[in-house]
Structure 1
């Protein structure tokens, strides 16, 4: 396909409506692949998922401490993670060539720095 996107449009979760949260919050993302043909390796750069509900089954025990989760066409997952440091987290499919086709999202996290977790400087317009 020419475009591969989040929320139906190139830039939907970047320029138009990036996700926003605060340090200390737990984020839950419901992620589905509308298909019809591509499997997604969903990942948030800079985070480890505390819990992944495979196939979006909230009644089953979650997987824990997952970096990337596989979602088939027509499938879904639910991921949760607690935000420990501020920064600009990037939502991607780990088939990273899809970034050039529009598949990226931002999670902008604000709050106090935590040098015990990460000691660095946030550069405007970049990750953390």
Structure 2
């Protein structure tokens, strides 16, 4: 892709660069070669197993209807609890999603609902809320 030296292209390049850096940081959790279980481990030997939980705007209540415009998911392990949460809103209005309780709190990593250039900060920021706006991932 040819990058022109105007502010729009610099902003897009900054965003894509940060997105690639984030993907590399999360490689251990988001590796498509290692699928996650859809339930917590049921046997003692599976302590290192990471599992996924599906959500809607409310925890553990995904809306699988064809008319639904939102979906959220989280990854968990037994030792640390929730590791990652992602909410997606394709509705034309903002939505507020419940977050799983995290002992150490959440860090806001990406929020595409923010103004251009603010949606993916250089460094994550502390997020103390129990709910997330529609475009956030913690």
Fold in common (TM above 0.5): no
TM interval, short-chain normalised? 0.3 to 0.5
Instruction: Provide the TM-score with structure 1 as the length reference.
Output: 0.35
Higher percent of residues as helix: 2
Q: Which has the larger Rg?
A: 2
User: Taking CA–CA contacts closer than 8 Å with sequence separation of 6 or more, which of the two structures ends up with the larger relative contact order?
Assistant: 1
